[in-house]
Structures are given as C-alpha cells and as structure tokens.
Chains A and B, each alone.
Chain A
Amino acid sequence: MKKLSIIFVLLTLVLTACSAPAEEPKEEITQITVLTSPDYPPYESIDATGKYVGFDIELMEAIAEIMGVEVVWKEQSFDGIIAGLQAGQGDMAISGMNVNEERKLSVDFSDIYKAGEALYTAVVLTEKGYTTIADLSGLKIGVQTGTVQESAMNALKDKYGFTVDSRASFLTIIEDIKLGRLDALVIDFENATQYSIANPELGTFKIEDADLDQDGGTAIALPKGSEWTEKVNAALAQLKEDGTLAELDAKWFNE
C-alpha cells in the first residue's frame, strides 16, 4: 500500500508539473505574440546571428509601435500557422501569407499590405526550354503545402494534364528539380527570381491562365473574431499614408 501511495504522489506531481504553465494568465496587453515562418526571404528569414529580418518583420514592428505594444516573435513552420492561430498559439501571424477564400474560412485577414502581383511563377531547369503552362503537360509540379499556389495548381491539373506534388517545404522541391525528380516549382515571382539567381541552372516563367485569380494579396492573419484586426488595419492605413509602407517595399523588393 505504501508503494502505491508513493507512486500516486509521484504521478500527481508529474501531472501538475505538466499542466501548470497552461494556467498562466494571458499575456498582458503590452505584448503580442506573432507567428512567422522565417524561411521565405525577402518576406522573412534570419541573418547570421539568428535574428529575424525581412519586409514582414519590419512592417510588423512598425505596426506594433503604432499600436503601442511589443512584438514577441514565435517561429512556426508555414503549414502550421493557421492551426497555431486556431489553437490560440499566437495573436496574429505575418508570413507572406496570401489572402484566399479557403483560408478565410479558418482565420480573419487584415487589409492587404502587398498587392498580389505575379503570384504564380514557375521555376524550371533552363535547359528544358519550358515557357508556358501548356509546356508542363504530363509533367510533375511541386508546390508547398498550404500555399495558394497549391490550391491553384490542383484546380488546373486536369486542364493541363500535369500532376501536383505537395511538400512541406519548397527547398526540397528545388533540389528535386535540379536532380530531375520534379519538373517545376510554382511559387510567387519574388522567390522564383531569387532561386534562379542562386541556382544558375534554373529559369522562370510566369504562369498565365484565365482561371487564375491573380488579385489576391499578402495580409496579416488573425484568429476569427480577433479584437486586434481593427487596430492592425488602422496602423496599416497610417503606414500607407505616411509612406513607410512604400519605403519598406522599396527596401526589400528593389522596386
């Protein structure tokens, strides 16, 4: 009996230790937790010291400054961001995320801070000579899970007769294109250009199809019904007005 009671005391200890931090009071209003997946330059990446840098990072800091709060960055891989917001793991997320109807079912979006130009650009081996989406017929196309490019390519695959391979990270897709296991990666124009610069054997072309909704745009995602949405929009409007947004855009996208 003595043995049993000791075991129960230990078990209780372990269980309380596990559940205690969950009972902490919610963060004070002086801080907001922002989720980001820092593997998407120039929107967000890290520098050599591990510090977050990029367009989204500076924009978020500017928004937070206007709202009078401090940003607590929380790293979250892109495919877990919406789940993270729904599970209350962050107050909002900025991660180069494009607004689309499917996502709107699960999260709210702020106003768009970067227009959705050239959302669909293909990265291919230059030597293959592909230049239009019709050339991709019968080929294998890689996309990142949970991206707008993924749903767009799935919608077009029957029309053009290609197959879609969804991966957690487009890094592995780039490697597979170089090795010949995949034929193309579909990604936004900015990233496509960066990949073709870093890998001279790769080229890009813009995907054009009447069914593609090119007008999306990049916005901050918030949990459904978040009280922050209005404040974020007000701050965004101010940054648009005073030219800060245009400055940041020019700084990170060389436009």
Chain B
Amino acid sequence: MKVNFGAIVEYIPYLLGGILVTLEIAIAAALLGSLLALIFSLLSRKKGILQSAIKVFIDFFRGTPLLFQLAFFHFGIPQITGIIPTPYISALVVFSLNSSAYLAEILRAGIESIDKGQIEAAHALGVKSWDISFSIIIPQALRNVLPAIMNEFITLVKETSVVSMISLTDIMRRQQIVSAATYRFFEPLLVIGIIYLVMNIVLSNIGKILERKLKYD
C-alpha cells in the first residue's frame, strides 16, 4: 500500500476543526437528552395516558433509524409546516430526542432496581415524595446505571457522524471533503479514526472516574 501523509498534512487542522462541530452537538444533546429522559422516566412510573404517550415516543425513536429521523425533521417537516429549522437546531432536536428515548429506558431500569422497601420506609417516616424521588431513588438509580449511560454518550458521539446529510461539516464530512481536495482516501480516514478514538477514550475515562467517586465504599 502506498501511503503518503505529505499530501494531507496541511489539511489536518481542518480535520481537527470538526471536533468542535461534533462535540457541540454531542454535549448539547447529551445534556438536553438526559433532562428529558429524567422527566420521562419519572412520569412513566405512574400508569395513565402520559405513560402510554411516552411509550409511543420511545418506540418511535428506538424503532426508526437515526438517519431517517434526521432527514424527516430537517427536510420533511419544513415542507409540511413551512417552519425551517437551521441544521444545528435539527441536529440538536433529533439527537436530544433520540438519546432521551434510550436514556429514559436506562433510567427506568435503574429506578426499578431500587428496593420498594426503601420507598415504603421513607413514606412511613413522612418523607415528601419529591424528596423520595430526588434524594433517595434517583441518586442510587444513577449510580447503578452509570456504565450504561456512559455507553449511550459514547454512542452519541459516534452517531453524530451522520449529520453531514443536513449540511453540518463534522469530522466525518471533513474527511470526505479533504479526500476530494487531495484525491487521497486512506490518509484522512486514518486521521479521523484516531480523532474519534481519542475523544471516546477520554469520555470513557471520565465515566470511570465518576463511577469510582459514586461508589459506597
């Protein structure tokens, strides 16, 4: 194989610039998605219309490809409603909703893992239900599902690579553009592979540190 990094060296800063685009979407979507997921998982603890609506929502976002959701929101909805979202808003909305669907299921599992006895005991002691949720259930649930949450965040960072479809120039799209400009394929691909890997190794180490901090012992 003839590999020649000389041709693409001057394009490396441009490739690195994609990190900002990727992280901007991933971090914003992770925060907004977590908030929504928390709301959904708490709301769906009680049976009723709300619980069914959330179930439909989660089914939709887990049951269709991300690329479909992105295209549908960015190109489809404007043709029906006339409201034209910017690419960044489309990406933010779709990635937030998508990851909230997965995170809500993770959190639900975490909440259900908490012993019912604890909740009954808290009620018996007269603890308010707000405090039961936020001081007793959620902290424990979060600790139990932290590895799964970190998994979802890492997936999120990698999944942002589909945003080139809606005219965001992220890391993956920059590889295509640099390949076109230099007529070389392999070298830019290798560079962006390393970029993704390093980003996610950092992320998973942050997860490990958090896990250690949240341990009982």
Contacts and interface: CB of A to CB of B under 8 A. Distances in A.
B183 A195 contact: yes
A80 B181 contact: no
Interface string B179-195: 11111111000000000
Contact of B167 (A21, A41, A89): A89
A197 B182 CA distance: 11
A48 B11 CA distance: 5
Interface stretch (A11-19, A156-164, A224-232, A236-244): A11-19
Given A75-B169, A83-B75, A87-B78, A14 B183 contact: no
A194 interface: yes
Contacts of A2: 130
B39 A10 contact: yes
Interface string A209-229: 000000000000000000000
B126 to A, nearest CB: 17
Given A18-B93, A41-B180, A75 B130 contact: no
Contacts of B183: 194-195, 197-199
Given A83-B75, A87-B75, A21 B86 contact: yes
B178 A84 contact: no
A77 B164 contact: yes
B79 interface: yes
Nearest to B36: A14
Contacts of B87: 89
Interface in B127-151: 129-130, 133
A88 B80 CA distance: 12
Given A38-B177, A48-B10, A88 B84 contact: yes
B165 interface: yes
A59 B172 CA distance: 28
Nearest to A77: B164
B202 interface: no
B34 to A, nearest CB: 12
B75 A86 contact: yes
B164 A3 contact: no
Contacts of A83: 71, 75
A46 B35 contact: no
A22 interface: yes
A23 B184 CA distance: 42
B89 interface: yes
Contacts of B79: 86-87
Given A35-B167, A48-B11, A50-B17, A175 B185 contact: yes
B165 A80 contact: yes
Contacts, number: 107
A41 B32 CA distance: 39
Nearest to A80: B165
Q: How would you classify the secondary structure of chain B's contact residues: helix, strand, loop or mixed?
A: helix
Contact of A87 (B39, B84, B165): B84
B181 A41 contact: yes
Nearest to B7: A198
B187 to A, nearest CB: 12
A144 to B, nearest CB: 11
Interface string A168-183: 0101101100000000
A104 interface: no
A52 to B, nearest CB: 10
A195 B183 CA distance: 7
Nearest to B11: A48
A74 interface: yes
Contacts of A18: 89, 92-93
Contacts of A172: 185
Interface of A: 2-3, 7, 10-11, 14, 18-19, 21-23, 35, 38-41, 45-50, 74-77, 80, 83-84, 86-89, 169, 171-172, 174-175, 194-195, 197-199
27 contacts: A2-B130, A3-B133, A7-B39, A7-B42, A10-B35, A14-B36, A21-B85, A22-B84, A38-B177, A39-B181, A48-B10, A48-B13, A75-B169, A77-B164, A80-B166, A80-B167, A83-B75, A86-B75, A86-B79, A87-B74, A87-B76, A87-B78, A87-B84, A88-B78, A89-B74, A198-B182, A198-B183
Closest 5 CB pairs of A and B: A198-B183, A39-B180, A48-B10, A76-B167, A87-B78
